Amino acid sequence: MTKLFLLAAGAGLAGAAVLVPGAAQAQDGRLPFTGPRIEAIVGYDHNRSGSTVDIDAARNLKQSIEGLTYGVGAGFDFATGETLRVGAEAELTDSSAKWDNNNGVPNTFNLGRVKADRDFYVGARIGVVTSPRTMLYAKAGYTNARYGLLGTNGSTVLDQRLDTDGYRLGAGLEYALDSNAFAKLEYRYSNYSRGEFDFDGRTPDSSRFSIDTDRHQVVAGVGLRF
C-alpha cells in the first residue's frame, strides 16, 4: 500500500512538470522553493510491530504506540529546471508515543514501558513547482530512532535504550506564504530493520540484530527560507 502511494505521488510529480511551463520567480528575483531553509514540525506518530502474525493468540497484546511527534529540520533546495527542485535535508524529532503496562496487559516487547524517543533523519527530496506558491514533493532517506524500554521483576528495574536503523519514504505539499516563509503538510512511512541495545556506563552495547518495526506519521510544518 505504501509503495503504491509513493508511485502515485511520483506519477503526479511527473505530470505536474508539464502543467506549469512558466513558474514565476519570487519577489526578490530568486526562483521559488530554492535555497537554505529551517522549519519546525509537529504531527501524529504511530509505531507498530511490522509483523502481521499474532505472536500469541491466547492473550491481548498491545502491538502499537502512538502520540505526538515534534522537532526541527533544515535543508537546502536548488533548481534543476524551471519547475524541478532537488534538495537535501536533515531532521531531529522527539515523540510522546508510549505504552505503560499498568493494566496487566503485556505489550509485544513484554516490558513494563515502551516509549518512542529521539529520531534522527537525513535524506533527499525531489519536487515539482505546480504554481508560484505550491510545490509537490517526494522524499527518501535514512532514519535512526531510539526507543526507551523499562521492565522490572518487582525488585530489579531494567531501563535501557534500543537504537534502530531504517529507511523513510514520504510525500508532501509545500506552500509559500511569502518569498521567505512557508508551510507544509507531509506523510511519511519509516521501517526499522536493525536494532542495538545501547547500555549505560562501562557495559558495551549489544550486537546488532534484526527487527521489523513500522512507523506512520502525518506532520505539518512552518519554516523560513534564506
Quick one: CA torsion of 64, 39, 178, 86, rounded to 10 degrees?
Answer: -90
Listed residue (28, 41, 25) closest to 74, CA to CA = 41
148-176 tens-digit pLDDT: 877 655 555 566 788 999 999 999 999 99
Q: What is the pLDDT of residues 104-126, one digit of tens each?
A: 444 444 445 788 999 999 999 99
The Cα 216–Cα 201 span in angstroms is 33
What is the separation of C-alpha 210 from the centre of its chain, rounded to a whole number of angstroms?
20
The closest of 34, 21, 3 to 127, measured between CA atoms, is: 34
**Segments of the chain scoring below 70 in pLDDT:** 1-29, 51-62, 100-112, 151-159, 200-205
**Which residues sit opposite 71 in a β-bridge?**
41, 93
Specify the pLDDT at position 4: 42
Torsional class of 219: left (φ above 0), alpha (ψ -120 to 50), beta (otherwise): beta
- Nearest CA to 139 out of 41, 52, 31, 28 is that of 41
Q: CATH topology for 2-52+66-225?
A: Porin (2.40.160)
Phi, psi at 31, each rounded to 5°: -60, 140
| Closest-CA residue to 20 (of 174, 181, 134, 97) | 134
Tell me what pLDDT residue 179 has.
Answer: 87
Q: How far separated are the first and last CA of the chain, in Å rounded?
A: 37
Every domain of the chain and the residues it spans: 2-52+66-225
Position 54 scores a pLDDT of: 53
Question: Of 185, 95, 188, which is closest to residue 142 (Cα–Cα)?
Answer: 188
In SS3 terms, 88-126 reads as EEEEEEEECCEEECCCCCCECCCCCEEEEEEEEEEEEEE
